[in-house]
Structure 1
Amino acid sequence: MALVLDPAAQDLLFREAHTANTFTEEPVTDEQVQAIYDLVKFGPTAFNQSPLRVTMLRTAESRARLLPHMAEGNRPKTSTAPLTAVLSYDLDFHERLPELFPHAPHIKDAFFSEEPVRESAASLNATLQAGYFLLGVRAAGLAAGPMTGFDPAGVDKEFFGDGRQHVLMVVNIGKPGPDAFAPRSPRLAYEDVVTVL
């Protein structure tokens, strides 16, 4: 076989996984969230920079702060999901680089002394980490409902008032509820995507 991951795991992470639009009331525990992070933190990023930050909205009060900034169609599922994660990138990620990349402590100043460079690196690498996060949620046997339908400036102001973090996506997390999944849409075929030189 071309893949060493067993077929059940392939189904869990990819083939049978869908974006969830409804959720049961079963809670997502802190232990599950910790296990997800402890798995996905090993996903590679440039210089191990790890700019992703995750703000978990568990209470009705915290969710109420988010809902006005969500697109209208995303509000009902966000208000009823057992847990919502606001995934953002930290513009000050470079301050932690000396401990994350200890054999080259000069990396922080050599590559990230200018803010436009930091912001580009933070956005790209946190987006990469967000993909790992979604796989981690699936690996925990949970469904993820990632969304980009929201007002980014409003979410940033509401949750990251100092301007040092910027939202990437909002992810509802939980066990899928009734009619949680839309039919699977087509995907591009291998020959439409892959070029071999």
Structure 2
Amino acid sequence: MTDPDLPQPLDERALDRLFHKARTMNGYLDRPVDEAILHRIWDLVRMGPTSANQLPARLIWCRTRDARDRLADCVSAGNADKIRNAPVSVIIAMDLDFHEQLPWLFPHDDARSWFADDEEARAQSAFRNSTLQGGYFIMAARALGLDCGPMSGFDADKICAQFLADQPRWHPNFISTLGYGDMSSTFARSPRPDFDVFNTIL
């Protein structure tokens, strides 16, 4: 018998939307993405766990044609048209001085002091935790009925100059397109190994 006090698994339809049938998109339907849904995505992203509630990710949402064109000029040739043609493209950046926000984000302890004099530790933690938040971004978008096309293949210096000049301590982690996906733009599903291939239980 199911214990009603325990969290219940998502149904298969939800799991399909988040994982089994979700795909990386290379193209999107001609359907705009309202700004309100970007706020809803963030409202979910911020709830995902990060170490000491660091929340180092800084998201730059490129919705206008001008912003997407400027971002397209910062990426590899194979990614440029994907960005230009997507309703929204998002720079998932990381704040290398995230520790300055810890007094209010993590009031339980003096977490700022853990990083204040250790630039390398800040860089590692910013990268690790902003990457986590990037994963939450993808799942949040899918949960709200949108699709994503995460990518690397960009010139970080150009992105910093074009979009982060007024925030010199922010650095791009990766980029993702966002919209209502065109399934015809996807490739055939690449292999997904069974448990025993890449897992060990000790």
Q: Matches of 2:65 and 2:128 in 1, distance apart? A: 31
Per-residue CA shift, 1:20-46, capped at 9, x if unaligned? Answer: 011112111111111111112111111
Deviation at 1:173, TM superposition (A): 0.4
Residue equivalent to 2:62:
57
1:132 to 136, 139, 156: 136
4+ residue stretches of structure 1 with deviation over 6 A? none
Deviation at 1:74, TM superposition (A): 0.8
- SS in structure 2 of the partner of residue 8 of structure 1: helix
- SS in structure 1 of the partner of residue 154 of structure 2: coil
Deviation at 1:184, TM superposition (A): 0.6
Q: Matches of 2:83 and 2:182 in 1, distance apart? A: 13
Residue equivalent to 2:115:
111
For normalisation by structure 2, the TM-score amounts to 0.92
- Unaligned regions of 5+ residues in structure 1, if any? none
For normalisation by structure 1, the TM-score amounts to 0.94
The answer (yes or no) to whether the contact 2:59–2:93 under 8 Å persists in 1 is yes
Matched residues, number? 195
- SS in structure 1 of the partner of residue 25 of structure 2: coil
Residue equivalent to 1:158:
162
Task: Indicate the percent of aligned positions where both proteins have the same amino acid.
Answer: 38
The answer (yes or no) to whether the contact 2:25–2:183 under 8 Å persists in 1 is no
130-139 vs 179-188, greater mean Cα deviation: 179-188
Residue equivalent to 2:151:
147
Residue equivalent to 2:74:
69
Q: Matches of 1:157 and 1:111 in 2, distance apart? A: 26
Structure 1 residues 136, 178: CA separation in 2 closer, same or farther (over 3 Å shift)?
Answer: closer
- SS in structure 1 of the partner of residue 185 of structure 2: coil
Q: CA RMSD in A?
A: 1.5
- SS in structure 2 of the partner of residue 69 of structure 1: coil
Q: Matches of 1:12 and 1:178 in 2, distance apart? A: 13
The answer (yes or no) to whether the contact 2:68–2:88 under 8 Å persists in 1 is no
- SS in structure 2 of the partner of residue 4 of structure 1: coil
